[in-house]
Every structure is written in C-alpha cells, then in structure tokens.
C-alpha cells in the first residue's frame, strides 16, 4: 500500500509519521486492501480530542484528531495498539465500501445512528480477530450497541452475530440492527 501521513513531522505530539504509515500498511493488508491502494492519513495534532472519520473513498483519506492515537497512560505519546484499532476500524469500513458485494450504505452523514453503531461492531470484531486490540473492545462495543438498540436478548444475539461474522453485507448489518431495535418494547 502507498500510505501518506500528514504532517510528515509532528511538533505538538511525539508521533512518527513513519510508524503510523507502517501501522496503516499492515492493517490495510490484513484487511485485504491491495498493494495498489493509496491512503492518506491526516492527523490534527492541535487537539487532544479523539474524533476519527473516513473523509473520502476515492482517494482514500482518513482524518483523525491526535487524541485518537494517544497512549492513555503517556500523554502526547503514540499508542501503536490504539492507532491500529482506530485506523483499522476506518480501514475496515473503507474495505467494505470498496467491496461491491457489501452494498452501498450511502454517505456516513446520512446513516441512521443505530446502523452506524452496528457497522462499527462488525468492523471492530474483524479488527480484534486480526489481532489488533488496544483495550477490551467487546464489552465497550456491547454497551454502546445496547445504548443504541436497547437491552434485549434479541439485541445481544444480533451483537454476537455482528461481532463474530465475516462476509456480511450492508443489508445484513441493517437487518440485524433493525431487529435489535424492534425487540425493545416502546
């Protein structure tokens, strides 16, 4: 993969553009993104916040605030495991969007929040199974899923399916999400 990180030299945080590029390359290859794929990672080092997003698919542009990549125990230091997890989630969603069998979820801004959460669970499960784990992501994701979909046995079963699955389509993700939300009495 061809990976470009901006800025090339960090001044406010002790991050290495080369290390970030290596992580993106490794995770991207593990997700099946080919050698001809170009990725640009734009890191906003002026904020300690942790937002991250896919800005564009063609070309692939990922935007992250420096707090998303920071080691929680060492301020202003890069967490390699956290970086692999955060950027891996974005790359998993990019890989889904590039896979014609996945379907077309539409732009992120138009996604229903519960569908977006379900997709994040599906992406996170795959990242964890690839060996990238910055924290106990399953419990955190389950709690977030329950907050969006309600607390129910149907929702927990759908979560487990999303967490352990490979090869789902966008229709599968939204169906599981919708079934979870419908299982909670109004």
pLDDT in tens, 130-157: 998 756 689 999 999 999 999 999 999 9
Query: Does 132 lie in the same domain as 91?
Result: no
Mean pLDDT in residue range 48-60: 94
Is residue 48 in a domain? yes
Which CA distances in Å does 11 have to 21, 53, 57, 83?
A: 17, 22, 28, 18
Considering 98, 130, 164, which residue would you say is the last residue of a domain?
Answer: 98
Q: What is the pLDDT of residue 108?
A: 87
Q: What is the pLDDT of residue 137?
A: 81
Domain of residue 172, residue span: 108-182
Q: Which residues contact 14 (CB under 8 A, 6 or more apart)?
A: 76, 77, 78
Query: Does 137 lie in the same domain as 163?
Result: yes
Structural domain total, the chain: 2
Q: Are 6 and 40 in contact (CB under 8 A)?
A: yes
pLDDT in tens, 86-119: 999 999 999 999 999 999 998 888 999 999 999 9
Query: Two tokens at 78?
Result: 């890069």
Q: What is the pLDDT of residue 126?
A: 95
Considering 98, 133, 163, which residue would you say is the last residue of a domain?
Answer: 98
Q: What is the pLDDT of residue 135?
A: 63
Query: Two tokens at 28?
Result: 């991207």
Query: Does 88 lie in the same domain as 124?
Result: no
């Amino acid at each position: 993969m061809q990976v470009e990180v901006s800025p090339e030299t960090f001044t406010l945080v002790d991050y290495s553009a080369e290390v970030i590029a290596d992580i993106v390359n490794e995770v991207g290859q593990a997700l099946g993104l080919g050698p001809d794929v170009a990725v640009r990672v734009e890191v906003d080092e002026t904020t300690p916040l942790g937002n991250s997003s896919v800005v564009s698919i063609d070309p692939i542009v990922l935007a992250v605030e420096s707090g998303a990549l920071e080691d929680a125990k060492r301020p202003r230091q890069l967490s390699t495991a956290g970086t692999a997890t955060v950027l891996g989630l974005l790359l998993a969603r990019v890989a889904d969007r590039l896979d014609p069998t996945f379907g077309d979820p539409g732009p992120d801004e138009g996604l229903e929040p519960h569908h977006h959460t379900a997709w994040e669970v599906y992406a996170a499960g795959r990242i964890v199974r690839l060996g990238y784990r910055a924290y106990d992501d399953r419990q955190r994701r389950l709690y977030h899923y329950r907050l969006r979909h309600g607390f129910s046995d149907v929702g927990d079963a759908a979560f487990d399916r999303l967490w352990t699955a490979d090869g789902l389509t966008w229709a599968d993700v939204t169906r599981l999400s919708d079934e979870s939300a419908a299982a909670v009495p109004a």
